[in-house]
Amino acid sequence: MSLPRPDHPRWNAVVLGGGDPGDAFAAAHGAAVKALIELSGEPLALHVLRALRESGRVDRVAYVGPTTPEMNSLIDERVTDAGSLLANLEAGVRALPGGEQAARVLVVTADIPLVTPEQLRDVLDQAAHESPNAALVYPVVRREACDAAFPGVKRTYVRVRDGTFTGGNLFLLDPRLIGQFLPRLREVLAARKAPLKLAGLIGPSVLLRLVTGRLDVATLERKVSELLGVQARALITPHAAIGTDIDKDSDLELARRAVLTRPG
């Protein structure tokens, strides 16, 4: 259920549509990058852009990566792929009016074509209502919600005391604080596949509790906030489409079935 405030807070958006030119999945579907793979005759990214525009909560949109003519009418700022996730994030934020001094920003990947305007509006209103002062808000989805919406979907899940979750493919940030947390975030991402280095960053006891499912969401929020030096919050959303990106053929087939059976 959406929790709008009287003024209906509005956001700018950065859509991450870049990618490796050598991506075998994209090439197999005749696309330069994954975001341009077609679903129901339209690029994956076009579905996302349309949902953003129809949400009623987004003002300006910066798009990072190659586009098509049909996408361009929904984009305010076109940004060249800078080669990495965080570099693209920085470039997208800087391209928006006001840059790092602008209003809060929704960052979304271009490969979640099943997300709807209503779901985006709900997440944005919930974030504005529950975490108005957080520098970073990261939606997560319970496994039960994913299984109910898309039976058989394969996702990566993390088990904590509060339940089993998959991460969303969007997040919300205060661009004025991006310079504070981005360097530390780079360290965390660089260490994510090196357990000893990661343990040094987040603490071995926290890492142990995480991998054994004994960590709760509130403690994880506090640890991430300490690590990044800004207030970070998890936002539990029931919208499985936010956690369902298109990475492989089985995902694309699932999306095709979902589009065919979608009401209206």
pLDDT (0 to 100) of residue 97: 85
Q: How many CA atoms lie within 13 A of 26 on its CB side?
A: 18
Give the closest residue to 46 by CA, choosing from 142, 110, 123: 110
pLDDT, average across residues 228-253 = 95
Q: Are 1 and 218 in contact (CB under 8 A)?
A: no
pLDDT 10s digits, 186-216: 887 776 656 667 677 777 787 778 777 888 9
| Contact partners, residue 213, CB within 8 Å, separation at least 6 | 159, 160, 161
Q: Kindly report the CATH class assigned to 11-261.
A: alpha beta
pLDDT 10s digits, 72-124: 999 999 999 998 889 999 999 999 987 655 668 999 999 999 999 999 999 99
pLDDT, average across residues 57-64 = 96
Tell me which DSSP letter residue 140 carries. Answer: E
DSSP element (H, E) containing 246? none
- For the chain, give every domain's residue range: 11-261
* Prediction pTM value: 0.90
Q: Are 139 and 264 in contact (CB under 8 A)?
A: no
**Residue in the block written with tokens 């906030």:** 225
pLDDT (0 to 100) of residue 106: 96
Q: How many CB atoms lie within 10 A of CB 201?
A: 17
CA-to-CA dists, residue 184 to 42, 50, 173, 180, 194, angstroms: 37, 33, 15, 8, 16
Q: Are 81 and 42 in contact (CB under 8 A)?
A: no
